[in-house]
Structure formats: C-alpha cells, structure tokens
Structure 1
C-alpha cells in the first residue's frame, strides 16, 4: 500500500525570546557612544605605543626585543579594536570622525579600513550562516575532502598568521580582495572608500620600505615587522575563538535568522588582557547589538544573561587550552542539515 504522506522538512526552530526582548534588558545608555571617551582610548593606545618605542630605543638590546615585540604587537591589536568600533559606528555618532580615527587606527597596521569594514559588516549580518558568513565559518565535509593540500594547510594549520592572506584572498570558497574596488565584496557606490583605504595602506607600505633603506631593514624588522606579526597572531587567535567551538551551532537556509546566528559565538576571558584589548572577548552582546561601544559591553552582557539563559555561551578556561582543543576538533560540518556542529576527521 502506497502512503499518501509527503515528506516535509522539519519546522523552523525559533528562540524563546525576540531581539526586542534582549534589547529591552539593556540600559539605554549602553547604546550611546561618547566621542570624548572613545577618543581617550585611542590616544591612550597611541601614547602607550609611543612609550614602548621610546623604551625599546633606549634599551636597544637583543634580550629586550622579544618582550617589546609581544607588548607592541598587543598594543597594535588594541589599536585595531579601536578601529573596529569605528567601523561599526560605535566609536561616535559622527561618521567623519569614525572614518578618520578608523584610518588612523588601521592604516599603521596595514589594514584597509573601508575594505575591512565592509566585509566585517557582511560577517555580522550573516553570523552563524554556513552559506553566507564571511569569516571563520566552517567548510562542509565534502569541500574539506576536496581541498588541495596548500589550501587545507593554510586554513587549518596556519591559523595564527592567516589574516594577511584573508585580506588578499578571503576565506575558502570565496573570491575577492579587500584592496580592490571591483571585488565582489563591494557595491559600486563603495568604490572610492575602498580606494582611499588601499591608497593609505600603500603609502604606509612605501614609508616602511623607505625606512628600511634609510635605517636598515633590520631596524624595520625589530621595530615594525615583529610587532606586526604578534598583532596578526592576536587577531587570528581572538577571531578564531569567537566562532570556533565544538558545541556552537551553525545553520542553513530558512532555519537561520539573525538572532540565532548572533548567538553562535562565545565570550572568552583573556585575563589581564581584557582591559588592554578593550574587552573584545565580550563578544555575544557585540554580535547582537554592534552599536554598543566596547566600554559598555560588560554591562550589557550582564543585563542580557537572564534573558538568553542556556543560549548564552561563555568559556572561562585558559585561552591556549581552548585554542588547542578547537584546533584539534573543529574542521568541518556535515554536508546537509541545519543546526549542525563542527566535526574533525578521523585521526
């Protein structure tokens, strides 16, 4: 006997709360950036960077340089986070000020402000969506099995230094450059913003090359390249850990919607580095409401925890333990289905 029942896809799963429920829990002042306060963090970072350069020049010793590289690279990362707020419009209410400080924060560390800002906007609008997310999204098992060795090596084993490659080539399965205005990342009206940021980075690179000829490339290596490398490592570690965890779900198609995707991230505790890098590890509230300035994220997080309940994710374990565990276990997701989780190949 033939059944007349038609196979139906599972019903779309909705969260037991809405975006409006979450917003109502947060004090209103958390959504109000203060330009003077945001600028104070920018000038504090610039001041510490200048002080570290002065100290390194005074000591000028091989034993101190590794300490300097790590400290200055950490401050480069802090400066990036200031530009990150500018890109989201949470630095101030003035677009011209956001763009100015964004370029002043990102150009010295060779990040194309507008190019990055636009792709990062795409990431926030599609977080947790396997098909449309922009950065640190999982590949499918079928794609993983077909990856050439060099792409697999870069994606899964160079996670600490892959960011510059992402700026030039984007993530697996996507095309385009953050430096070129005709990249599929950008819309036609965004052309001149992208060009402006690319020119700024080109001028910074020319300055570094000129400095190398004038002072020697060993000077550039010690005072810029190695701090820059530590900055890249910070950026890759933090962004990787924001979105790479074995028990964080990913969605496909109609089963995804913004709030569900925004909750597919996790808060991390970086200990003494939390205030240094402007609480960027407080990431769940940021993904839900990207207009909240970094200095209100902790307050906003405490306010939304009772609303989110079990849907709120955080980790207090040591960062390098989390990094090693995710590196070992998070490779791909199943080819089909929704609300899927990271898997690893059999070893």
Structure 2
C-alpha cells in the first residue's frame, strides 16, 4: 500500500487545486471520452442479469430446501443483493442512464427489495461524495476526534466499533454519531424542502416492502422469512458495511478539517481494493478512487478510467495490496479516532483499550 502524500497549504478553494501537481481537468483529459457516457441498454443488462441470478438462486433453494444448503444460499444470495445495490448505486449517481425517470425507476426496483430507501440514501450519499475526506462535514464512516471518541456514549461506541458490520440499518434511522436525521423523514436535516416528495415516495415503497415481508411471514412462518430473506439480507448488510468501511478507513489515508479541505484533495482520500473473483460479481465497486473523482461515470467504465488516471495521479493513487480480510482487521483494530487538531490527520489506534 502506498503511503499518502499530504497537502498543508491554506488558501481559497479557487486556487487550492494548485497544491496538487495536477488539476481535475488534467485527470479528466487522460480518460477516454466514452467512459463518461452511460448506455441505458448496457446498464439494464446488468440489472436484469442480477435479477435473473437472484431468481435462479431462489428456485434452487426452493427445490433443495436442505439444512446444509441454506448457509451456501445465504452467502450467494446476499452477495447478489449487494450486486443489485451497486446497480441502484449507479442510478443514485445518475450514471445508470441519461434519463432521470429510468434512473429513479431502476433505483427503486434495485433498492426497495433490499430495504434501502432509494431517494433517502441517494441524497445522503450525495452529501458524502461532496464532502469526502472532510472531518467536519462527511456523511459516512468519518472519524471522530480523540475527544469525541473518549466522550462517546458506551452504546454508541459499541455499535460503531463492535457491531460495525451490521451498522447500516441503524444508520438509516439515526445516521452516524454527531449527525442527526433519519433517511425516512422529509423533515430530516439531510433533505431540502424541494426533496420532500422524493423522500416520501421512497419511504412509502420501503414500508410496502416491510408489509410484504410481514405478510409472507404471517402466511409461511418465521422460518420461511429467515431462510429466504433474513439470511441473505444479513450477508448483504455485511457486504455493504465491509466495502464502504474499507473505502475510507485506512491508517495511511489523510483526513482534513473543513478549513484545509477542498473537493479534489478529499476525493483522493480513498483507496481501491481487490476482491478477487468477486470483482465482476459486484460490478467492480472496489475501483473507488476514479469513482470519487468522477461520480457520474458508469461502473462498467471504472476499470478503464482507473488505468488511464494512474500515470496522472502517481503517488496520489492508492490501492491496497493486502487481502480483504487483513485490510478489514487493520481497520477494525487500528482505526479508532484522529487527533483533535491538525491540518491533516490520520486514524490512530486506542492504546488505552
């Protein structure tokens, strides 16, 4: 893993890009123009492929219905739930197609079945991308300062550091520590008044999915729910938390206070990971650096774009050489908080634990 390079000069946002040896325009010019063009048909092919595999796995599980098979099914189906989430992720970034109505339709069809409120998530995720690497304003997996960490209530600390891989459903209702608001309520500080009906639409559809699952449980029993839905859902949540955590939780990646942050510097405070044979299954979501710089790029162009920008970024491009299990262990063990002060700070372990 390459060490990070810090930028410490202060100045207005307009001129700060000069702190880096390249500009956003330099990076964009290195990428083939077709990488910025979404294809509705190609995007739809990934959506229908995922849906087809999910349906096939359900058919197989129904036919086999054996105790030994359920853990295998949960792992496979939960991974496909995660792949479907990534398709909806493109919809949220408007990189699925050029058509807003199609992005919203497929976004809801991808996210509602896996209990993600599409618009609520889309808007908070937009906040994350607009503030990546900013300690004060980032939305997800941002570090607490040491003082905040020491003063953190025990229940909050337990969820964040010991239920890390199951935290996403809680985040939807309560956001992260220090950030108030629910992804389901249009009155949440996450949303603008103009986004009210988008939020309500996704919340109503999320509620309808809950009602559908409740009806299935009432008709077929709790064991049916566990076998066919809850097991895969938990695997999906673990995938979501693992991948999003590892994108931004690495001891060598810098974080910046608001007055020493700007977009491009923050966008470079992320890292690519290699998930091996899982890469094509979850649509190469591990190629995260290029995605953070140009969030409107379809997932199927990220590998090409990444190869194109490496010579421009040089040492500012980061990719972990560690296996995923080791990166995860390091993040959980050594990334607890950042120092209270500094123009550029890094995660530290808690020696007092």
Structure 2 length normalisation: TM-score? Answer: 0.95
What stretches of structure 1 move > 6 A for 4+ residues in a row?
A: none
Q: Secondary structure at the match of 2:276?
A: coil
The one-character-per-residue Cα deviations of 1:95-125 (angstroms, maximum 9, x if unpaired) are: 0000000000000000000000000000000
Residue aligning to 1:196? 201
Alignment gaps of 5+ in structure 1: 1-8
1:17 has 2:48 as partner: no
1:275 has 2:257 as partner: no
Q: Secondary structure at the match of 1:278?
A: coil
Q: Secondary structure at the match of 1:221?
A: helix
Residue aligning to 1:6? none
1:239 has 2:244 as partner: yes
CA distance in 2, matches of 1:330, 1:272: 27
Residue aligning to 2:346? 341
In structure 1, which of residues 89, 97, 102 is the aligned counterpart of residue 94 of structure 2? 89
The one-character-per-residue Cα deviations of 1:271-292 (angstroms, maximum 9, x if unpaired) are: 0000000000000000000011
In structure 1, which of residues 210, 218, 232 is the aligned counterpart of residue 223 of structure 2? 218
1:48 has 2:53 as partner: yes
Residue aligning to 1:35? 40
**Number of equivalences:** 339
1:331 has 2:336 as partner: yes
Q: Secondary structure at the match of 1:160?
A: helix
Alignment gaps of 5+ in structure 2: 1-7
CA distance in 1, matches of 2:296, 2:218: 43
Residue aligning to 1:310? 315
In structure 1, which of residues 255, 263, 275 is the aligned counterpart of residue 268 of structure 2? 263
Structure 1 length normalisation: TM-score? Answer: 0.96
Shift of 1:156: 1.0
CA distance in 2, matches of 1:183, 1:122: 14
In structure 2, which of residues 50, 65, 68 is the aligned counterpart of residue 60 of structure 1? 65
- Aligned partners of 2:84 and 2:110 also within 8 Å: yes
CA distance in 2, matches of 1:326, 1:161: 15
CA distance in 1, matches of 2:198, 2:331: 36
CA distance in 1, matches of 2:139, 2:60: 39
The one-character-per-residue Cα deviations of 1:320-340 (angstroms, maximum 9, x if unpaired) are: 111001111001011111211
CA distance in 2, matches of 1:68, 1:261: 39
CA distance in 1, matches of 2:224, 2:10: 61
Residue aligning to 1:4? none
CA distance in 2, matches of 1:137, 1:250: 9
- The aligned runs of 1:16-165 (5 Å cut-off) are 16-165=21-170
Q: Secondary structure at the match of 1:275?
A: coil
Shift of 1:15: 1.0
CA distance in 2, matches of 1:325, 1:216: 40
CA distance in 1, matches of 2:300, 2:110: 18
- Aligned partners of 2:137 and 2:258 also within 8 Å: no
